[in-house]
């Protein structure tokens, strides 16, 4: 059996400041989600609550993290890349 495909995680320019502002518990919860997304970023693959963002954006998804977080990301069609677009921690 071949090893699982590994996806590179890249972030949008506005993602890093939001990441840096997370409290420690949120950062740990997000790190756990990102570990899963490196091999299983699509709905049905991941053992986490990945959902499509909108029908007209077929490669864009959301996934909750921690108690109050939501991550939005896109999976590139022709490359093994997960683009981290936005996160919210309320």
For domain 8-89, the CATH superfamily is RelE-like (3.30.2310.20)
CA 27/CA 2 separation, integer angstroms: 31
- pLDDT tens digits, residue range 8-35? 999 999 999 999 999 999 999 999 999 9
R_g of the chain computed on alpha carbons? 13
Find out whether 41 and 61 touch, Cβ atoms under 8 Å: yes
- pLDDT tens digits, residue range 37-58? 999 999 988 889 999 998 888 8
Give the dihedral sign, CA 52/49/82/84.
positive
């Amino acid at each position: 059996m071949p090893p699982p495909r590994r996806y590179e995680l890249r972030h949008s320019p506005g993602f890093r400041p939001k990441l840096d502002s997370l409290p420690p518990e949120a950062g740990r919860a997000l790190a756990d989600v990102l570990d899963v997304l490196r091999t299983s970023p699509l709905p049905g693959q991941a053992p986490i609550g990945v959902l499509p963002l909108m029908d007209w954006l077929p490669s864009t998804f959301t996934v909750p993290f921690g108690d109050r977080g939501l991550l939005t990301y896109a999976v590139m069609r022709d490359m093994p890349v997960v683009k981290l677009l936005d996160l919210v921690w309320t």
